[in-house]
């Protein structure tokens, strides 16, 4: 019996053999869809073929305002970084696979409590069940930001390898969800429209992908030059779009010229964990990528509490979200709020619970009597 992993390998081999051109586009699209389906099968606990167990993460309780995970090959310095940033102890050693489980630490930054997770090193093929990779990547899926830790003296190809492992698990790095609409229908066949010129997808490819999912009637409309993978992501669903920082560690071992190149790359942060170089720069970057909003509470008749902000995500920053962070019953008693800060024109301004707050706003909640 061919295992799921064998089937994945076969398809990957076939894709590598297939020349990419207009005539093969729909066939490649079909193979990509098959691959996505097999990968999903590998992750569902009921799959027989996979090997390596279900896609369950490490059992570490979420705490604090946000979660950041350290992912990388063995011995790149993940544990060293956790120790320096959080003061938590995670064993450091020159041999590979020193860390065997998930070790959490806490960073206090700008009044926010950020949970940092040290994870075991992953190896190529992790997504297909090698080592503890699936557990590592399942845990990575629960994070708000991922730090891919790279060793400055190791080949740059390592970056792509790690990315491939995460992508195989449905994690999309530094990418917005595809701007395309996919709507199933009862009849009418496959309809394909686009507001831009498409270099990747044509009707035939779209049909091939849909047929792999046994979808025969659907409207697909694009607003940008989407790829076959983008369409598959939308059909599959359950993709996670995650901000990611490439932390290049051990820069104490490279030349200044090499460092200057690294410094220019997008999403890169060169550091030396061991010598504590640029850890402040990294913290600042983590903060930026977490995209959090600090709200100061002002009890009636008192000064705002600037020491202990309530932290909300910039995607969920209404007054209601703020109330829910404080207490689950708070909105029930909510009458209106007084807000000072950049989200309002007047000081203070009276707002309802739909009002969107901005970083460093001050809020006083007025309850119903």
Ligand X SMILES: Nc1nc2c(ncn2[C@@H]2O[C@H](COP(=O)(O)OP(=O)(O)OP(=O)(O)O)[C@@H](O)[C@H]2O)c(=O)[nH]1
Which of 2, 13, 97, 184 binds ligand X (CB under 6 A)? It is: 97
When binding is defined by CB under 5 A, the residue of 83, 86, 99, 278 that contacts Mg ion is 99
Neighbours of 311 (CB within 10 A): 20
Question: Least distance to ligand X from the beta carbon of 286, Å?
Answer: 17
Choose between 172 and 250: whose C-beta lies nearer to ligand X.
250
Please list every residue from 19 through 78 that binds Mg ion, using CB under 5 A.
Answer: 78
| Measured distance CA(117)–CA(147) in Å, rounded | 10
Site for ligand X in 238-267 (CB under 6 A): 249-250, 252-253
Query: Given candidates 30, 79, 162, 206, which one binds Mg ion under the rule CB under 5 A?
Result: 79
H or E segment to which residue 112 belongs: strand 112-118
86 binds ligand X (CB under 6 A): no
Region for 233 from its dihedrals, namely left if φ exceeds 0, alpha if ψ lies in -120 to 50, beta otherwise = alpha
Name the phi and psi angles at 33, rounded to 5.
Answer: -65, -40
Strand partners, 366: 336
Among residue numbers 238 through 277, which ones bind Mg ion (CB under 5 A)? none
Which of 98, 174, 227, 313 touches Mg ion (CB under 5 A)? 98
Give, as ranges, the residues between 126 and 185 that touch ligand X (CB under 6 A).
Answer: none
How many angstroms separate the CA atoms of 128 and 126, rounded?
5
Considering only residues 24, 88, 98, 313, which one is a binding residue for ligand X as defined by CB under 6 A?
98
Of 44-52, 72-80, 190-198, 228-236, which segment contacts ligand X by CB under 6 A? 72-80
Q: How far is CA 252 from the centre of its chain?
A: 29
At 132, list the tokens. Answer: 């503890």
Tell me the backbone φ, ψ of residue 73, rounded to 5 degrees: -70, 165
Nearer to Mg ion, 68 or 362 (CB): 68
Nearest Cα residue to 250 out of 75, 40, 35: 75
124 versus 236: smaller Cβ distance to ligand X: 124
- Cβ proximity to ligand X, 55 vs 121, nearer residue: 121
Q: φ and ψ at 320, to 5 degrees?
A: -65, -45
Give min distance, CB of 62 to ligand X, in A: 22
Residue whose CB is less far from ligand X, 121 or 304: 121
Residues that bind ligand X (CB under 6 A): 72, 74-80, 92-94, 96-99, 120-121, 249-250, 252-253, 272-275
What is the binding site for Mg ion (CB under 5 A)?
Answer: 78-79, 98-99
């Amino acid at each position: 019996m061919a295992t799921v992993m064998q089937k994945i390998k076969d398809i990957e081999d076939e894709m590598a053999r297939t020349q990419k051109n207009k005539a093969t586009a729909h066939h490649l699209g079909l193979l990509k869809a098959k691959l996505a389906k097999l990968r999903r099968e590998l992750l569902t606990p009921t799959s027989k073929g996979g090997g390596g167990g279900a896609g369950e993460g490490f059992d570490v309780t979420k705490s604090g305002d946000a979660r950041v995970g350290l992912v990388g090959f063995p011995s790149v310095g993940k544990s060293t970084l956790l120790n320096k940033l959080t003061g938590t102890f995670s064993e450091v050693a020159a041999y590979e696979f020193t860390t065997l489980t998930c070790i959490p630490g806490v960073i206090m930054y700008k009044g926010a409590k950020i949970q940092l997770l040290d994870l075991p090193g992953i190896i190529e093929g992790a997504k297909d069940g090698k080592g503890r990779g699936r557990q590592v990547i399942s845990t990575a899926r629960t994070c708000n930001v991922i730090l891919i830790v790279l060793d400055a003296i190791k080949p740059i190809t390592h970056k792509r390898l790690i990315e491939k492992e995460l992508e195989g698990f449905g994690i999309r790095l530094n990418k917005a969800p595809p701007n395309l609409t996919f709507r199933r229908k009862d009849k009418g066949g496959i309809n394909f429209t686009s507001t831009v010129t498409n270099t990747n997808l044509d009707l035939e490819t779209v049909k091939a992908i849909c047929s792999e999912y046994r979808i025969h009637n659907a409207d697909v409309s694009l607003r940008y030059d989407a790829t076959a993978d983008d369409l598959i992501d939308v059909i599959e669903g359950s993709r996670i779009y995650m901000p990611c920082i490439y932390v290049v560690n051990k820069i104490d071992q490279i030349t200044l010229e090499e460092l200057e190149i690294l410094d220019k790359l997008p999403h890169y942060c060169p550091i030396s964990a061991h010598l504590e170089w640029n850890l402040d720069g990294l913290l600042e970057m983590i903060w930026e990528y977490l995209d959090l909003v600090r709200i100061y509470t002002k009890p009636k008749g008192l000064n705002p509490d600037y020491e202990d902000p309530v932290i909300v995500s910039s995607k969920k920053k209404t007054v209601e979200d703020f109330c829910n962070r404080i207490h689950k019953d708070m909105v029930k008693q909510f009458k209106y709020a007084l807000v000072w800060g950049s989200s309002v024109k007047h000081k203070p301004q009276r707002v309802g619970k739909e009002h969107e707050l901005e970083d460093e706003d001050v809020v006083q909640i007025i309850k119903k009597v």
